[in-house]
Amino acid sequence: MTHDHLGEFEHLVLLAVLQTMPEAYGVPIRREIVERTGRDTSFGAVYATVRRLERKGLVESELDDEEGRDGPGRPRKMVRITPEGLDALQAARGRLSRMAEGLEELLGGDL
């Protein structure tokens, strides 16, 4: 079964994971989405989407047990994209490019 069809927010989270790896966890993932898209989003939405992407096999995560991190709190849940996640992003990009073919003048260039 393939899980390469991504919702818009799933797509954004996967791209944010790639942008922030190897330090991908909730705070930088959310910050990347907000800064690059202007879309304000909650940590709850990020974490729920990461869990959904994990169930699809598109990301993996593990708790960071690093000693001496700044500040108190729970261990960070570090996220990394899987080969299947990268394949899903490439497939989604291809679908968008094919849909935009012939519309470059209206859309202002290639995707």
Least confident of 17-21, 49-53, 64-68, 100-104: 64-68
**pLDDT tens, position by position, 60-94:** 999 987 654 556 677 899 999 999 999 999 999 99
Domain limits of the chain? 8-68+80-101
Domain with residues 8-68+80-101, CATH architecture: Orthogonal Bundle (1.10)
The model's pTM: 0.87
pLDDT, average across residues 31-41: 97
Sign of dihedral through CA atoms 84, 92, 46, 66?
Answer: positive
Kind and range of the H or E run holding 62: strand 59-63
